[in-house]
Structure 1
Amino acid sequence: MTILPPGADGPKWGADNPMLCIYVSVVLVLGDFNAIALAEEKCGGAPFDPNRAARFREVLEQSGLLDLGSTGPRFTWRGVARGGYDRVFERLDRAICNAEWRTLFGDTSADGTLITEEEALHAHATDHFRRLLSRERGPIQSTIPHCFPQLSPTALQSLVRPVTVEEVHRTLFDMGPFKAPGSDGYQVVFFQSNWEFIWPSLFEFIRQIMEGATSISRVNETLLILIPKIKRSETIHHFRPINLCNVSYKLVTKTIANRLQGYISELVSSNQVSFVPGHQIHDNIVVALELVHTMLCMRGRKKFMTIKVDLEKAYDRFLWDFIDDTLVAVGVPSQLRAIIMDCIPTMTCYSSPRHQRTKSERCVKFCTVSMRCPGKRLSSFNATSSLGRYLGVPVVHGRLPRDHFLHIINQVQVRLSGYAGKTLSLAGRVTLAKSVLQAMSSYIMHTMKLPALICSDLEKLCRSFVWGHSSNQRKIHLVNWQTVTQPLARGGLGLRDLSLFNDAILAKKGWSVITNQGSLWVRVVASKYMDRLDASLQLRVLAIDSWQWKGIA
């Protein structure tokens, strides 16, 4: 082990660094490196230095060392606020190894207290989810009257219509045949393959429940299973519970859901995209960016404030009494409402949604300090001049700097420089490059035009990875990049030209403005910009327009 004191300006990552002189076949290095490799490994303090981080990554690559990653807190060191900057947090501690060590000890992990006994595991999991999902029963605020839309008479008749054999058959065969079974041990495929023998008794059971003659509680037995939320799950916080229900129970609930789905647009606001057919998450991103852009461009005596709220466990934390009140408010028939509420009588310990104060912020525009302080006391939110990212996309104020998209480059660097990239063949590297670039860049391309420099940097990373470049070894490009980005049928490798791909995605958005005028985001941008459309169908784009609209238009 070699210990080096840092110099006055920090450690010197260069060719004379002892980390380069590694002759052992199996290497593991742990400790405080006093350096960071990516912008996301730092928060606060002086601005991120990309050159210093690049030198650190270069040393790791020249040494053939890989970052093993980490779990738990995001940062390992914190400093004091100085020089007019906020308090700084950084990830200085890390564990790195070479490919040989990773091959030998691929399943190695480190944690604190290890629980292996079955009874202790059961008690630990039960205690965790009881504290997470329950609270003491208290007074419930009544639902505000007349704040929900009402179901139409046609919808009411459709919801309580008699169930038919065809409806049960269609619902059953819409289910996945090999999904996990419930407590009775039967999968959907058993009911589907034996439909001609079991349909009379199965249909009669469903009919009695839908007509209120039988309670669904007869089959309301479920298996609670914990599934991991991340790949390297080590603590109970890395798991979430799911219910494995019986097929007969799912037939009833899916029948009700199918009936409600046809009228969901009458009840759910158009800005909801989570479960409404035809809505996409990118719709809300465009709406949010346009609203912030409008707020920042407005002038006058009016004051504006944007509140960004993060709901913690939103779908798991609704009081069932609130659900019942909501069903009454929208006019769901009492017979159907009774069946729905009969599905969830044992889950009354679940609590209501609460916001994450640490992840919620207020963005204030044209407000004095004297006005901001009372707002902070009332909302308990931190005031900020920037909302950061919304659904993974930066909320851009004004110009479009390169720094807003450094996280994409960092993510691609991490994925392409890992253990797999050093052991894959050319075909494997091409496949990995396709999946990484498509997954990490196409998402944000649906909302705005990426700067040309960002596309160039991403393609440079892709080229270096595909041809096996390293910092100290430059390999020959066997085919030029224009040929590589051609489809396989034309002799290319199927990789995409990111700039052209971005233009194609935004062109589809522009076509949606014409063909999908009922969408919320289309109505928003049309109200802002479409009045400039002249007789020749030419649309003027102004310098003050938002970046996403400039890309679409």
Structure 2
Amino acid sequence: MYKTMLANRIKGVIDLLIGEEQTAFISGRHILDGPLIVSESAAWMKASKGKGFFLKVDFEKAYDMSFALSRGLRQGDPLSPFLFILVMEALNVALNSAKEDGTIQGIRLPNNGPEISHVFYADDALLMGEWSIINALNVVRILRCFDLASGLKINFNKSCLYGIGLDTFDMELGALIFNCQIGLFPFIHLGIPIGANMSRVSSWKPISDKFKARLSGWKERTLSFGGRLTLIKAVLGSIPTYYLSLFKAPVKVIKELESIRRRFLWGNTRDGRGIAWVKWADVIAQKSAGGCGVGSIRDMNLSLLAKWIWRFRKEPAALWAKVINAIHTQPRKFSGIPVNKKINGVWLKINSIEDDMLKENISMEKLCRANVGNGVKKSQKDVLLRIDSSVGLGGGSGEGGQSQVFYFLNFNNCVLFWQIVV
């Protein structure tokens, strides 16, 4: 009980203690922020023909060593994740301090953007920077010091080095300095392929293989129609969501995934073809519209990618948003969203969903509306009066009616903020 209480209390202040490079266990930070930062940084370095390295650090786990039993927190304790990222914050501070005094050089983004040297998700650490022997040696020294100070041992033999613009000699020299393996682009970070061309159908083969494995043939024969329908919904909600949250799936991939689901639902087997009792459009339609509520993979993909545009406007001070602003400086059709078409990375594909939504008569500009404020920070007691252009002040029953305005103005200890939706 007391551990849960301590965990709930530390949640309110942990974001003030942990640097923005750490994205695990902190409210408002997302696991895909790190892969987006790494992908865009790598795409920019390739476009600018720079030389850089990416070091995927492997920390030894509890099952890699033997240790004496003592007092502590068991795995799964609600407080242990926060204590762990507090320990990892020591490495974050060391790397940032070395970056500030010039001891190490991260990837220096253009247009006064941030210098990216590392991203963390719990103990999944990815270090990056401009390539030089001195830079690599200093990174090793910092990792060794953290190893000795924290007890988190780094397994350099399982760590892996990736390079951009580096020849074979530089890669072998870097592997000798870090005492690690040599890897090639694309590589996997937090389950996301970094540097892969996700417009190719072959890049989505792991997803289609998982679809086929989960919706295997024996389940078609043993499950009822309701059971198959439930399993389809579960597979859609778990397997492709992670990829679809960052990458725009090609049309051919979506058709293949829909075909797998369709054949499984109607009981298609090698022995024969099942009967499609209703149109597939009715199956994927919402239950309120008379459908089965399975949902469209394409619509799900567009919705998940649209969230990035919403977050970009909502979180302009986030590290990933600063990276996007630095690399992409040319605004697209609707204001506030920069896109540099010369950088063929993840962000370019994310913003291409605007054209797809326009084909469905959905305007991103209307979905992403901004409120104009007066710059004063609001407290919980403050009341926000939101005035839409379609709502006038003449009536007394509307959202911005005169009776409500009079009530707010006469409410004690209340600050009234006027915001107009534009």
Shift in alpha-carbon separation, 1:399–1:446, aligned structure 2, 3 A = closer
1:473 correspondence with 2:226: no
Shift in alpha-carbon separation, 1:291–1:538, aligned structure 2, 3 A = closer
Q: Distance in 2 between matches of 1:366 and 1:542?
A: 21
What one-letter code is carried by the residue in structure 2 that aligns with 1:455?
Answer: I
Q: Which residue of 1 aligns with 2:53?
A: 305
Equivalent residue runs for 1:147-186 within 5 Å:
none
Deviates more, 1:261-270 or 1:288-297: 261-270
What one-letter code is carried by the residue in structure 2 that aligns with 1:484?
Answer: V
Q: Which residue of 1 aligns with 2:190?
A: 391
Give secondary structure in 1 for the equivalent of 2:294.
Answer: coil
Q: Which residue of 1 aligns with 2:250?
A: 451
Give secondary structure in 1 for the equivalent of 2:239.
Answer: helix
Shift in alpha-carbon separation, 1:312–1:422, aligned structure 2, 3 A = farther
Q: Which residue of 1 aligns with 2:286?
A: 487
CA deviation after TM superposition for structure 1 residue 270, in Å: 0.6
What one-letter code is carried by the residue in structure 2 that aligns with 1:368?
Answer: D
Q: Distance in 2 between matches of 1:462 and 1:535?
A: 36
Shift in alpha-carbon separation, 1:485–1:533, aligned structure 2, 3 A = closer
Q: Which residue of 1 aligns with 2:298?
A: 499
CA deviation after TM superposition for structure 1 residue 407, in Å: 0.7
Give the greater-gyration-radius structure (CA). Answer: 1
Q: Which residue of 1 aligns with 2:108?
A: none
Equivalent residue runs for 1:204-283 within 5 Å:
247=1, 249-250=2-3, 254-255=5-6, 257-283=7-33
CA deviation after TM superposition for structure 1 residue 392, in Å: 1.3
What one-letter code is carried by the residue in structure 2 that aligns with 1:443?
Answer: Y
Q: Distance in 2 between matches of 1:517 and 1:540?
A: 15
Q: Distance in 2 between matches of 1:428 and 1:359?
A: 43
CA deviation after TM superposition for structure 1 residue 356, in Å: 4.4
Deviations 1:214-267 (A, max 9, x none): xxxxxxxxxxxxxxxxxxxxxxxxxxxxxxxxx4x536xx33x44443332232
What one-letter code is carried by the residue in structure 2 that aligns with 1:263?
Answer: V
Match among 179, 200, 203 for residue 404 of structure 1: 203
Shift in alpha-carbon separation, 1:411–1:376, aligned structure 2, 3 A = same
CA deviation after TM superposition for structure 1 residue 419, in Å: 4.3
Q: Distance in 1 between matches of 2:34 and 2:261?
A: 30
Deviations 1:10-40 (A, max 9, x none): xxxxxxxxxxxxxxxxxxxxxxxxxxxxxxx
Give secondary structure in 1 for the equivalent of 2:35.
Answer: helix
Tell whether the 8 Å contact from 1:361 to 1:384 is kept in structure 2 after alignment.
yes
Shift in alpha-carbon separation, 1:379–1:536, aligned structure 2, 3 A = closer
Q: Which residue of 2 aligns with 1:512?
A: 311
What one-letter code is carried by the residue in structure 2 that aligns with 1:306?
Answer: F
Tell whether the 8 Å contact from 2:327 to 2:340 is kept in structure 1 after alignment.
no
Q: Which residue of 1 aligns with 2:42?
A: 292
Deviations 1:73-101 (A, max 9, x none): xxxxxxxxxxxxxxxxxxxxxxxxxxxxx
TM, length-normalised to structure 2? 0.59
Give secondary structure in 2 for the equivalent of 1:386.
Answer: coil
Shift in alpha-carbon separation, 1:482–1:419, aligned structure 2, 3 A = same
Shift in alpha-carbon separation, 1:478–1:548, aligned structure 2, 3 A = farther
CA deviation after TM superposition for structure 1 residue 282, in Å: 1.6
Shift in alpha-carbon separation, 1:544–1:280, aligned structure 2, 3 A = closer
Q: Distance in 2 between matches of 1:490 and 1:421?
A: 27
Tell whether the 8 Å contact from 1:532 to 1:540 is kept in structure 2 after alignment.
yes
Tell whether the 8 Å contact from 2:220 to 2:228 is kept in structure 1 after alignment.
yes
Deviations 1:164-216 (A, max 9, x none): xxxxxxxxxxxxxxxxxxxxxxxxxxxxxxxxxxxxxxxxxxxxxxxxxxxxx
Q: How many residues align?
A: 279
Shift in alpha-carbon separation, 1:469–1:397, aligned structure 2, 3 A = closer
Equivalent residue runs for 1:83-98 within 5 Å:
none
Shift in alpha-carbon separation, 1:372–1:543, aligned structure 2, 3 A = closer
Shift in alpha-carbon separation, 1:259–1:432, aligned structure 2, 3 A = closer
Deviations 1:384-412 (A, max 9, x none): 22242211121134563222211111111
Deviations 1:526-546 (A, max 9, x none): 222244357966865525331
Q: Distance in 1 between matches of 2:254 and 2:157?
A: 33
TM, length-normalised to structure 1? 0.46
Tell whether the 8 Å contact from 1:448 to 1:549 is kept in structure 2 after alignment.
no
- Percent identity over paired residues: 26
Q: Distance in 2 between matches of 1:279 and 1:289?
A: 17
Deviations 1:130-155 (A, max 9, x none): xxxxxxxxxxxxxxxxxxxxxxxxxx
Give secondary structure in 2 for the equivalent of 1:508.
Answer: helix
CA deviation after TM superposition for structure 1 residue 456, in Å: 1.0
What one-letter code is carried by the residue in structure 2 that aligns with 1:250?
Answer: K
Q: Which residue of 1 aligns with 2:262?
A: 463
Shift in alpha-carbon separation, 1:440–1:455, aligned structure 2, 3 A = same
Give secondary structure in 1 for the equivalent of 2:32.
Answer: helix
Q: Which residue of 1 aligns with 2:389?
A: none
What one-letter code is carried by the residue in structure 2 that aligns with 1:438?
Answer: G
Equivalent residue runs for 1:308-327 within 5 Å:
308-313=56-61
Q: Distance in 2 between matches of 1:456 and 1:535?
A: 30
Give secondary structure in 1 for the equivalent of 2:269.
Answer: coil
Tell whether the 8 Å contact from 2:325 to 2:338 is kept in structure 1 after alignment.
no
Runs (5+) with no aligned partner, structure 2: 63-72, 95-149, 353-422
CA deviation after TM superposition for structure 1 residue 357, in Å: 4.6
1:375 correspondence with 2:125: no
Shift in alpha-carbon separation, 1:527–1:496, aligned structure 2, 3 A = same
Equivalent residue runs for 1:137-148 within 5 Å:
none
Deviations 1:461-483 (A, max 9, x none): 00000000012311121111111
Give secondary structure in 2 for the equivalent of 1:542.
Answer: coil
Give secondary structure in 1 for the equivalent of 2:55.
Answer: strand
